[in-house]
Amino acid sequence: MRWNRPVSGVGPGQSRLVIVTVIVVAVMIPVLLSVGAGDQKRISIYSGSANYTLNVQDRDGKEYVDLLEILQPLGATSIRSDRSSWRLRFGNAESEFIPEKARARIRGSDFDLPGKFKLENGRGLVPLASLSTLLPQFLGAPVAFRESSRRLFIGNVSVHFVAQVNRANPPSLVMEFSSPVNPMIATEPGKLRMVFTHEPLVPPGSQTLTFDSKIIPSANYAESNGAAEIAVNSSVPLLASFSNDGRTITIAPAPQRQLQTSIPAPEQQPASATAIAPPQAGAASSVTNASPPATYFAVVDASHGGEERGAALSDQLSEKDVTLAFARRLKQELEARGLSTQLVRDSDVSLTVEQRAILTNAAHSTVYICLHATSEGNGVRLYTAMLPAGAESRGPFLDWDTAQSASRATSQVVETSLATEFEKRQVAVRSLMAPLRPLNNVTTAAIAIEVASPASGIVDLNSPQYQQLISESIASGVLAVRDKLGAAR
Amino acid sequence: MIPRHLAIAVAVMFAVTIGMSVYIWRTRRMVPTEPAAYSHPVAPPVEAPTEEVTLYVAHDDIGALRAQTARIPLPSGRQERAEELLRALLRLYLGPSSSHPLPAVAEVHDVYLVDPGLAVIDLNSAFADGHRSGILVEELTIASLARTLSANVPGINRIKILVDGKGRDTLAGHADISGFYDVEAVDQLAAELQ
């Protein structure tokens, strides 16, 4: 029985311990990885010119963010990069960062960073904790950073609110906001949650608000992961409705009739035709509101996002990143011309085409602009919907696959106007139709724009100057037909 | 103290592992790295009278479709004709001076003609998975396949594209292939692309 003898002092008890440990580690690794994957860290940035959300990366046990992504929506930026340094210019502010060094030079002054600067695929990552030091140097404006909830306020931007329960029967909670808001709303037994990602909402005097009502006794304010949340507690199911251009949210017990309906926002607007999306598991639950949001003139959709990278434009350039940068710049240009604009995505998130169409149709906008980018050819291509063979529309309900059919004429008006503006600026332009979703599911004027690189090459596709030229052309083209589009609706 | 026989066994196993690694490394070096050209299944030659047909060929350099006449053997059956037409088109795209390169192992599995007027094109997954991504480049491929069919096989009203026998949302991230194409709309698109 020599083979059963313990060897080298390793007894059977210790062997079993090793085996059990290996099994536990093997089981725990996937569990830990899956937990981490579902909890993407985000930072929200609020400024006078743009509100947006970015992904946060973990490096060396610290939280990092892409500095260029933060500054791009706030003004003209350019970078020069080599192995030894990463130089960023924002407006007239020059800065230099050295990879793996915890020191930066901005406007000629040196600053210590709370962690090493990281250079990854041309992207400059800075520790999150350094933002309250770095950003004022670039922007020349005060910055307030709530690091625990990752919410960054640039300048004096804020949205305040007051809440009170009225004495009607049944009572309702009326919340007045200092600016229009468009939260994501979710309900669960005993609670209605409103999540504000794009609004610089600031907390009331107390985190818990109490009301003299048995039906709506209290509400709680909390902040986490780049968002503010107001949770309204109630003993009955609640329904939220918007008024006063999105400045007032009234939360009241849901009538029995409305509780029985399961179709989201579009059906709550019987005045206009509604395209009913095909049933999809989980579709739209995280991006659409339970109540109709404020109306925007334009909806701008940066195609792709998240795990769906789109075309690989170069070794380092993904279509999803280029379209997001274009979309943010286009929003600025449209709003500078007085055209209120909503972005379908303002961060690196994955959305289905159904979600994009539902969000667009629920926004009741006048024009939908979908942005794509390509490494093939030069200039810009404009696309209107090539409608597939679809079913018939019935009464106010439009067939989902051909919902665009009633708006094709106005889409072509936009296309012609944009082509004129591009030609004025000597950008090569071509107008076509394309079998491209969600154009055919959108119930308003809808156009897709595929931006190719300028003649100088693919690298300049992401340059601020080129993006500015394209965005200005689009915004001017939309502005030129604003009245026609308004009349068509 | 480790028993001697155990130490010998471990040493032998270590030597075998090293030996196997060297053998695999040498074997992999000897295997040709580009088997695709040889493993690509070749359709059997068709014995049929040669006919003149019009193929609608995509040209990436000008972003356009161009009608091009060709003489190919065409069987009498409609379904077989449809398959041969698309295979002739594919041979142009897979050639060395292709005007619209497709993945080297791209293939049209089958074309099914379903009355009344529906043509179902079944591509292999390599066709779609390896296709370049972009609105224009994808719609050129679709317009080329669909217009070539509708121009040469009378009676087709609608076209559906499958990949390995299954439905798919897009060809390569852009052009929608989840639904049915109206031939009228395809002809209009092809006209725009010319």
pLDDT in tens, B40-51: 455 556 677 888
Q: How confident is the model at residue A212 (pLDDT cuts 50, 70, 90)?
A: confident
* Count of CB pairs separated by less than 8 Å, A with B: 90
SS3 content of chain B, % helix, strand, coil (to 5): 40, 25, 35
- Which residues 57-86 of chain B have a CB within 8 Å of chain A? 60, 63
Q: Is the Cβ pair B175, A311 closer than 8 Å?
A: no
Domain interval for residue A435: 295-387+395-488
Instruction: Give me the residue from B3, B60, B142 closest to A435, CB to CB.
Output: B142
Q: Which of A232, A255, A278 is the last residue of a domain?
A: A255
Same-domain pairing of A329 and A211 = no
Give pLDDT, residue A166.
82
Cβ-nearest to A8 among B2, B139, B188: B2
pTM of the model: 0.57
pLDDT at residue B60, as a whole number: 93
Which residues in chain A touch residue B193, judged by CB atoms under 8 angstroms apart?
432
Q: Which of B1, B176, B180 to mutate to test the interface with A (most CBs of A within 10 A)?
A: B176
Same domain, residue pair A440 and A336: yes
CB atoms near residue A136 (< 10 Å) = 14
Chain A environment of B185 (Cβ under 8 Å) = 386-388
Residue A285 — very low, low, confident or very high, per pLDDT cuts 50/70/90? very low
Residue A243, pLDDT score: 77
**What's the CATH code of the domain at A80?**
3.30.457.10
Please tell me the predicted confidence (pLDDT) of residue A184: 81
Q: For residue B103, which of B112, B111, B94 has the smallest C-alpha distance?
A: B94
Instruction: Please report whether residue A48 resides in a domain.
Output: yes
Of the listed ranges A134-138, A231-235, B22-26, B92-96, the least confidently predicted one is B22-26
Assigned domain for A448 exists: yes
CB-CB neighbours of B52 under 10 Å: 9
Give the contacts of A341 (CB within 8 A, at least 6 positions apart). A296, A297, A298, A299, A300, A330, A331, A334, A335
Task: Yes or no: say if A248 and A242 are a contact pair by the CB < 8 Å rule.
Answer: yes
- A375 in contact with B at a CB cutoff of 8 Å? yes
Task: Decide if A473 is inside a domain.
Answer: yes
- Predicted confidence (pLDDT) per residue in A85-119, tens digit: 899 989 888 999 999 999 999 999 999 999 999 98
Compare A19 and B121 and report the one with higher pLDDT. Answer: B121
The backbone torsions φ and ψ at residue A98, rounded to the nearest 5 degrees and listed phi first, read -110, 125
Of A310, A375, A434, the CB nearest to B139: A434
A301 touches chain B (CB under 8 A): no
The 3-state DSSP class for residue B17 equals helix
pLDDT at residue B68, rounded to an integer: 93
Same domain flag for A146 and A229: no
Give the pLDDT of residue A95: 93
Q: What percent of chain A has pLDDT over 70?
A: 82
Q: State residue A78's pLDDT score.
A: 84
Residue B94 confidence (pLDDT): 93
Of B176, B180, B188, the CB nearest to A389: B180
What's the average model confidence in pLDDT over A12-21? 54
Provide mean pLDDT across the span B81-103: 93
- How large is the ipTM? 0.77
Q: Which residues in A lie closer than 8 A to residue B189 (C-beta atoms)?
A: 386, 432-435
pLDDT per residue as tens digits for the range B147-164: 999 999 999 999 999 999
Chain B residue with Cα closest to A354: B169
**What pLDDT shows up at residue B46?**
64
Q: Give the tens place of pLDDT for each residue, A219-262.
A: 999 999 999 999 999 888 888 877 777 788 888 887 654 333 33
Query: Tokens 């005060």 belong to which residue?
Result: A142
For residue A489, pLDDT over 80 is answered with no
For residue A33, tell me if it sits in a domain. Answer: no
The 10s digit of each residue's pLDDT in A294-326 is 478 999 999 999 888 899 888 778 899 999 999
Q: Are residues A68 and A107 in the same domain?
A: yes
- Whether B192 contacts chain A with CB within 8 A: yes
Nearest by CB to A435, from B2, B173, B175: name it.
B175
Q: What pLDDT is recorded for position B175?
A: 95
From A150, A177, A212, the end of a domain falls on: A150
Q: Do B179 and A376 touch (CB under 8 A)?
A: no
d(CA A128, CA A145): 10
Judged against a pLDDT cut of 70, whether residue A17 lies above it is answered with: no
**How confident is the model at residue A291, as a pLDDT?**
42
In the beta sheet, which residues pair with residue A111?
Answer: A104
Q: Does A374 touch chain B (CB under 8 A)?
A: yes
Q: Is B117 on the interface with A (CB under 8 A)?
A: no
Kindly report the nearest CA distance between residue A307 and chain B, in angstroms: 12
Contacts of A319 in chain B (CB under 8 A): 133
CATH of the domain at A448: 3.40.630.40
Q: A481 and A376: one domain?
A: yes
What is the distance of C-alpha A455 from the center of its chain? 31
By percentage, how much of chain A surpasses pLDDT 90? 36
A442 to chain B: which residues are within 8 Å by CB?
none
Residues B135, A377: C-beta atoms closer than 8 Å = no
Q: Are A341 and A375 part of one and the same domain? A: yes
Rounded to the nearest angstrom, the minimum Cα separation between A437 and chain B is: 6
Compute the distance between CA of residue A354 and CA of residue A440 in angstroms, rounded to an integer: 11
Is B60 close to A376, i.e. CB distance below 8 A? yes
pLDDT, position A398: 78
pLDDT digits (tens, 9 = 90+) for A362-419: 888 999 999 999 998 889 999 999 987 666 666 667 788 889 988 999 999 999 999 9
Residue A382 and residue A452 in contact, taking contact as beta carbons nearer than 8 Å: no
A432 touches B: beta carbon within 8 Å? yes
Judge: A435–B181 Cβ closer than 8 Å, yes or no.
yes
Decide which of A255, A280, A303 is a domain's last residue. Answer: A255
The alpha-carbon gap from B40 to the nearest alpha carbon of chain A, in Å, equals 26
List Cα–Cα distances, A132 to A70, A101, A142, A150, A393, in angstroms: 12, 18, 9, 11, 54
Inter-chain contact A383–B134, Cβ cutoff 8 Å?
A: no
Clarify whether residues A131 and A177 are in a common domain. no
Judge: B136–A308 Cβ closer than 8 Å, yes or no: no
Q: How many structural domains comprise chain A?
A: 3
Which residues in chain B have Cβ-Cβ distances shorter than 8 Å to A312? 133
Q: Answer whether B30 touches A (CB < 8 Å).
A: no
List of chain A residues whose C-beta atoms are within 8 Å of the C-beta of residue B135: 372, 374, 381, 383, 434, 436, 448, 450
| pLDDT tens per residue, range B98-146 | 999 999 899 999 999 997 899 999 999 999 999 999 999 999 999 999 9
| Residue scoring higher pLDDT (A243 or A145) | A145
CB contact under 8 A, A374 and B137: yes
Contact A185, A249 (CB under 8 A): no
Q: What is the mean pLDDT of residues B63-88?
A: 92
**At residue A480, does pLDDT exceed 90?**
yes
Q: CA of A429: how far to CAs of A416, A470, B65, in Å?
A: 11, 11, 18
A232 in B contact zone (CB under 8 Å): no
pLDDT for res A441: 93
Q: Hey, is the C-beta of A401 within 8 angstroms of any chain B C-beta? A: yes
Do B176 and A390 make contact, defined as CB atoms within 8 angstroms?
Answer: no
pLDDT band at A55 (very low <50, low <70, confident <90, very high): confident
- A30 within domain boundaries: no
Mutate to test the interface with B, among A5, A381, A386, A458 (most CBs of B within 10 A): A386
Contacts of A448 in chain B (CB under 8 A): 135
Asked if A168 and A144 sit in the same domain, the reply is no
Res A29 pLDDT > 80: no
pLDDT reported for residue B35: 41
- B57 strand-pairing partners: B66
Which residues of B are less than 8 Å from A375 in CB distance? 134
What is the per-residue pLDDT for A488?
60
CA–CA dist A411, B146 (Å, integer): 25
Supply the CATH number for residue A201's domain: 2.60.40.3470
In a domain, A27, yes or no: no
Quick one: pLDDT at residue B118?
Answer: 93
Q: Do A215 and A355 reside in the same domain of the chain? A: no
The answer to whether the bond into A438 is cis (omega within 30° of 0) is yes
CA distance linking residue A138 with residue A156, whole number of Å? 16
What is the SS3 string spanning chain A?
CHHHCCECCECHHHHHHHHHHHHHHHHHHHHHHHHHHCCCCEEEEECCCCEEEEECEEECCEEEEEHHHHHHHHCCEEEEECCCCEEEEECCEEEEECCCCCEEEECCEEEECCCCCEEECCEEEEEHHHHHHHHHHHHCCCEEEECCCCEEEECCCCECEEEEECCCCCCCEEEEECCCCCCEEEEECCEEEEEECCCCECCCCCCEEECCCCCCCEEEEEEECCEEEEEEECCCCEEEEEEHHHCEEEEEECCHHHHCCCCCHHHHCCCCCEECCCCCCCCCCCCCCCCCCCCCCEEEEECCECCECCCECCCCCEHHHHHHHHHHHHHHHHHHCCCCEEECCCCCCCCCHHHHHHHHHHHCCCEEEEEEEEEEEECEEEEEECCCCCCCCECCEECHHHHHHHHHHHHHHHHHHHHHHHHHCCCCEEEEEECECCHHHCCCEEEEEEEEECCCCHHHHHCHHHHHHHHHHHHHHHHHCHHHHHHHC
Is pLDDT of A126 > 90? yes
- Average pLDDT across chain A, whole number: 81
A404 is a domain residue: yes
Contact A7 B6 (CB under 8 A): yes
Judged by CB atoms closer than 8 Å, whether chains meet at B192 and A312 is answered as: no
- Residue A426 counted as domain residue: yes
Question: What is the reported pLDDT for A447?
Answer: 97
> Which letter does DSSP use for residue B189 in this model?
H
B182 touches chain A (CB under 8 A): yes
**Which H or E run includes B112?**
strand B108-114
Section A467-473 average pLDDT: 94
The CA distance from B192 to B143, in Å, is 10
Is A249 in the same domain as A358? no
Contact between A237 and A160 under an 8 Å Cβ cutoff? The reply is no
Under 8 Å CB-to-CB from A162, ≥6 apart: which residues?
A175, A176, A204
Contact (CB, 8 A) for B84 and B123: no
Same domain, A362 and A233: no
Residues A141 and A200 in one domain: no
Average of per-residue pLDDT across A440-457: 91
Q: Is there a contact between A437 and B178 if contact means CB atoms under 8 Å apart?
A: yes
Instruction: Give me chain B's average pLDDT, please.
Output: 87
Is A390 an interface residue toward B (CB < 8 Å)?
A: yes
